[in-house]
Amino acid sequence: MDRFRILGPSRLAGSVEASGAKNASLPAMAASLLSDEPLVLGRVPRVRDITTMGRLLEHLGVSRAHEDGRLVLTPRDNGNPDEAPYELVKTMRASVLVLGPLLARRGHARVSLPGGCAIGVRPIDQHLAGLEALGAEVSLEHGYVEVRARHLLGGRFRFAMPTVTGTENLMMAASLARGTTVLDNCAREPEIVDLARLLNGMGASIEGAGDERMVIEGRERLHGAEHRIIADRIEGGTYLIGATMTRGDVTLLGAEAADLAPLLHRLAENGADIEISPDRIRVRGPSEIRPRDLQTAPHPGFPTDLQAQYMALMTQAQGVSEISETVFENRFQHAPELMRMGADIRVDGGRAQIHGPNPLSGAQVMATDLRASACLVLAGVAARGETEVLRIYHLDRGYEGMELKLQKLGAHVERLR
């Protein structure tokens, strides 16, 4: 199993290009199931979740090719399975994103239930209730969810909580339903807005993406399109946290500052110097990092996907800070690993109190999920001595060439196979 060996401490300095957003690419790829014409996607990151989604789509009858750095997805003729098997879903929960498109286009889908994962229980009840509101019949059997509808009909649905992939599934299904669909309490993440742009480019009619209410006029058919995926705000944000943490000076290229606003606002409060110009964000770390409390929340709140990395930063702040995780119920697994590196963290349910600053010292640590891995890598860069981050396959699910990007910024990181 691959692992990272990091020799620290290093100060991150230089410029780094943001990759395309994994969490925008995954629904965009699933949207290829909605038409019979090719979909051309630019800036899709080369990470493992994208390969997994590619394999799932291949299984469902969509072939893929790389042309001039773009991903071309071409649906083949009918007669393909409508089923997402357990082997694929268990490695990537986002496989559930094929549910809406398959149902809308083929009238039927069977998708393995994802089950819990390292960060929480993560049910999909809202995806299913939403599809039911559009007239689907839903049944659960043998660990699979099966949805059917001869014709989806526009309807009204209010999500019990904003769910990102749930909103995306409903947007895709409603785009091919007969009539108008009104969705309330939608997720408002930039990835939702990007998906709406793509679907509208395919001929859909979606209004209100980025707001709580979306109105979708169903279309009889959608066509192919070309689309450039937005920058990955979580990947980019990880390097900007690293810059703050190591008192470094990092310029992130190709990123959208508005999408990163909740983080940039916070880093400024921590004392970082932030310069925003079109297409680039420069962050210079302060000599003394000010502690700030944090509560994760759906967009436009502070993203849960940056909580672990922010906790690494708070271990270096001058004083006590408290982090509350409100989106997932079990997303502090990085805390004990940070403590093995010398951090002083007290976890109590969904709250963690971090007593800084404590010098970190290199250790062998274990990654438990994608963002926890990124947190441990940042800690390793800031720590004195040698850190080994094991189970880097979690990181490879969502960070494109992280060791190369960190090397370019001056860190001593190597991948051991």
Residues that bind ligand EPU in the complex, under the rule CB under 6 A: 23, 26, 93-94, 120-127, 161, 163-166, 187, 304-305, 327-328, 370-371, 398
Shortest Å, Cβ 191 to ligand EPU: 6
Q: CB-wise, 192 or 363, nearer to ligand EPU? A: 192
Q: Please measure the distance between the N-terminal and C-terminal CA atoms of the chain and give it in whole angstroms.
A: 6
Only one residue has tokens 């999909």, namely 124
Shortest Å, Cβ 214 to ligand EPU: 15
Q: CB-wise, 24 or 363, nearer to ligand EPU? A: 24
Q: CB-wise, 123 or 210, nearer to ligand EPU? A: 123
Q: CB-wise, 272 or 367, nearer to ligand EPU? A: 367
Burial of 78 (0-12, 13-18, 19+ CB in 10 A): exposed
Shortest Å, Cβ 162 to ligand EPU: 6
Name residue 70's beta-bridge partners. 67
Sheet-wide strand order for 205-207: 156-158, 180-184, 214-217, 205-207
What is the C-alpha to C-alpha distance for residues 47 and 299, in angstroms, rounded to an integer?
Answer: 24
375 is catalytic: no
Choose the catalytic residue: 7, 72, 113, 117: 117
Shortest Å, Cβ 265 to ligand EPU: 18
**Do 289 and 359 contact (CB within 8 A), yes or no?**
no
List helix spans (H) across 225-285. Answer: 233-245, 261-269
Shortest Å, Cβ 372 to ligand EPU: 9
Q: CB-wise, 246 or 368, nearer to ligand EPU? A: 368
Q: Which of 179, 180, 201, 198 is nearest to 190 (CA)?
A: 198
Q: What helix, strand, coil percent values describe the chain, rounded to 5? A: 35, 30, 35
Residues known to be catalytic: 117
